[in-house]
Amino acid sequence: MSLALREEPAAALGSAATIRERCRNIAAAATAGESHHFRIDRRRLDDTAAMVAAVTRRRYPDLDVPCHSRWRHFETGGLDRKAELDRALAGRNAADRARAHIDLIVASVLLDAGAGAAWSFVEAESGQRFTRSEGLAVASLRAFMRGAFSALPDDPLRVDAAALLTMDAATLASLFQAGTANPLLGLGGRAALLRRLGSALAKQRDAFGDTARPGALFDTLTVAGTRRAISASTLLEALLDGLGPVWPSGSALDGMPLGDVWRHPHAGGSGPSAGWVPFHKLSQWLAYSLFEPFEWAGITVTAREQLTALPEYRNGGLLLDAGVLHLVDAADGARMWNVGDELVVEWRALTVALIVSATVELDSAIRAASVSRV
């Protein structure tokens, strides 16, 4: 079984290498003074890397840093919910456990959008209250374990198209304890996203098999478990092939939806994809979150460095706060912007390119801190 390739020219925008190339082009233009929005002070990169290294050493003194992954949210409140899930999966083989892990992660990441400051989730099992991404993670895991995303009552620990296609806002509100007194932003949009996932699973049998569940990616990518290693970029491309139509952005090329891909005058490139810069933030977040399920099943994920830092406000905000990036017009910081606006696209591209540049400095700073502690 093999994944159907995306049609050209949109395929060029689904490559991790293209993300780096187009972001690097935009950074080069900003460095040359051609940006109307940002100025770069690369002299601040060393200090920024040193600050991040210090935080890393303080938080993880043995440098055993866990994956940037949705699984970390499942650990909130000091509970090992993954162990609880695996107890529920006891007796299943490694491949079947991996399918269940992948099912959970795909559904949970798709539901991981801003919850709003007023919403919270009380976990019955622990009595703890959680908000924002941690609350969404715990709520989605509990829904999964109750079989909310499975159409098979005798096999609740799965996500399948048949169940997702019937998901509505009222059902999701019940699962997430949302209501007038506990409002969850974008409830209808979340339900629609799950229905789009169901449609993608049902239509793309090459990727998701007759079971029409995200976990079938395990079989697709490992050739039913016979391939013992996959690269990070291959995983990302599989997610974009299979789930690309799920992400709503409005960007399209030759009638094909592009997802998290936007125009910028300095993006560069050639052919029909010229001028477009891909980010695929949620797909990369999903890929990072799937490293562990594959490796728990004995499949090595290679070349992880092929992916990028996530182009989102936390990383971009770090560069602004640390003085690496400066707005040309300070008043722009108080204005409202849309995700496709040139300033936002540029900010995200510079975030990717500059964090790639800072990685060498960060690695050196961490190593220097390690030597000083010996």
Q: What is the pLDDT of residues 145-177, one digit of tens each?
A: 999 999 999 999 999 999 999 999 999 999 999
- Distance, in Å, from the CA atom of 178 to the CA atom of 348, rounded to the nearest integer, reads 32
pTM summary value: 0.91
Residues 6+ apart with CB under 8 A from 111: 136, 139, 140, 190, 193, 194
Sign of CA dihedral 174, 111, 137, 149: positive
Q: What does the pLDDT read at residue 5?
A: 43
| H/E stretch holding 107 | helix 94-110
Q: Could you tell me the residue range of the domain that residue 269 belongs to?
A: 1-65+256-282+300-374
Q: Are 161 and 275 found together in one domain?
A: no
Residue 146, CB half-sphere, CA atoms under 13 Å: how many?
14
| Residue 291 in domain | no
Residue ranges for the chain with pLDDT beneath 50: 1-6, 371, 374
Nearest to 358 by CA among 104, 26, 95, 44: 44
Query: Residue written as tokens 């006891």?
Result: 90
Please state the domain count of the chain.
Answer: 2
Q: What angle do CA 205, 209, 211 make, to 5 degrees?
A: 120
| Residue 251 in domain | no
Q: How is residue 130 annotated by DSSP?
A: E
Q: How is residue 225 annotated by DSSP?
A: T
Q: Are 91 and 59 found together in one domain?
A: no
Q: What does the pLDDT read at residue 105?
A: 98
Q: Are 89 and 61 found together in one domain?
A: no
Q: Are 306 and 337 found together in one domain?
A: yes
Q: What angle do CA 205, 285, 191 make, to 5 degrees?
A: 60
Q: Are 83 and 40 found together in one domain?
A: no
What are the phi and psi torsion angles at 372 (to 5°)? -65, -20
